[in-house]
Amino acid sequence: MLRSSHLKYCYGILISLFIFCDTASGDLIKVDKNILEDANLITPDLIKKYGYPAETHKIQAKDGFVLTAHRIPKPGGQPVLLVHGLLDSSVAYVILGPERSLGFLLSDLGYDVWLLNTRGNRYSRKHKRYHRYQPQFWDFSFHELGMYDLPAAIDYILARSKGYERIHYVGHSQGTTSFFVMGSEKPAYMKKIKLMQALAPVVFWDYIDSPIILTFVKYLRPLVFIANSFGIYEFPPENEVWRSLIQKICSFVFQNTCTYFLMEVMGVDYAQFNSSLLPLFTGHASSGSSVKSLEHFGQQIHSGGFFKYNYYSSWENRRNHGADTPPQYKLTNVDCKVALYYSKNDRLTSDKDVVRLRDILPNVVLDYLFPDPLYNHINFIWGNDVKTVLNDRIIELMRKVDNGEV
């Protein structure tokens, strides 16, 4: 088994050679200094840069993980919890600055804003028993996020929100998946949710048609086996090294190539993507998760349902699930108010799959399919017009719920 230091060395040599070969005959791209500054600030420092107060809170989950939540405090304000997607972090809801990002907009309106970092990302890499170089540390998927991370965060927030018994919740991508796990398995927590707003909800994956994702899933098990054989349980491995390298590659050398790849994964929509901000996005993106998380998502593709993790043997499934095959999550238990926002050009969640989810959930108060046929998965966070086409709509629905109009 290769040690992580050896892996880091190998990756460094390969990427250095790759960069050298392609930059020998090309000029480096110039990037605005303010964008580079924002790309290298951690979330609380980015919040403070724009004149807002920022706090860092440590939340212990019941299984030993220590989570980091960033807060834009508003004492006495209605608490709202914003949860990022896979490989993302708390920066998702502040990355575009005060004029467009949801976290800042909600703070301006008097909401007490909490930005959670789920286990395994760059801000939440501590455990009471395990170190990040132990396989046990990475033995989680979106299931554990729903079973442990979200309940711990909700209880922590409510304990510090005098006069409030419920929170608003907004999740993007995996931030919706984990919520539906929590609602299915811990339905009592639905009484603590005033409104859940799901941005690009990922639950069913029967109509996904991304060539990249489908190719990955075809070789899912052997790829996971090979990764684990080399001691790789984190994705991407040695995440901080990869994140820095990817930012430099995509910022100064291969902006067009990186943009093309991103569009192929998320859905092609160049009109909503500001390529000049690519250094900012890559500076914060790929914040890390587990290989098991990718595997669990992969298992859902064309599975016909929303299933718990499928172990490698029926014996393991019986030990963990009480049956030879993993059971489905009970989505009918998610009885809080839910708003769904989705699009036709999202290559990570099909509008047909979201419609299926809508028909199962018992209390959908808004079903919003974007009229823009090109709106994609990442536009919900990075889109040029995200304030006017999405965030203003989110805020208006929160206002109506707060006022008892919905």
Identify the H or E element spanning 211.
helix 211-218
Q: Residue 63 catalytic? A: no
Give CA separation, 116 vs 47, 71, 191, 293, 357, in Å.
14, 8, 20, 18, 25
The sign of the torsion formed by the CA atoms of 285, 291, 293, 295 equals positive
CA 150 to chain centre: 13
Kindly name the residue from 84, 168, 296, 377 that is annotated as catalytic: 377
Q: Residue 184 catalytic? A: no
Beta bridge partners of 380: none
CA geometry: angle 392, 394, 400, nearest 5 deg: 100
Q: At what angle do helices 211-218 and 255-266 cross, to 10 degrees?
A: 80
The DSSP symbol for 328 reads: B
Taking the alpha carbons at both ends of the chain, their separation in whole angstroms is 57
Q: Residue 385 catalytic? A: no
The sign of the torsion formed by the CA atoms of 148, 176, 239, 223 equals positive
The DSSP symbol for 136 reads: G
Residue 118: name the closest of 174, 160, 158, 80 by CA.
174
Give CA separation, 309 vs 162, 312, 361, 384, in Å.
38, 10, 22, 36
Burial (CB count <10 Å: 0-12, 13-18, 19+), residue 159: exposed
Dist. CA 93–CA 104, nearest whole Å: 8
- Region of 155 (left: φ > 0; alpha: ψ -120 to 50; beta: rest) is alpha
Is residue 283 a contact partner of residue 247, using CB atoms and an 8 Å limit?
Answer: yes
Kindly name the residue from 90, 161, 173, 289 that is annotated as catalytic: 173
Kindly name the residue from 149, 346, 350, 353 that is annotated as catalytic: 346
Beta bridge partners of 60: 66
**Alpha-helical regions (H) of 24-168:** 33-39, 43-49, 102-108, 142-144, 150-159
Give CA separation, 248 vs 26, 29, 186, 263, 337, in Å.
15, 10, 43, 19, 43
**Which residues have a catalytic role annotated?**
173, 346, 377
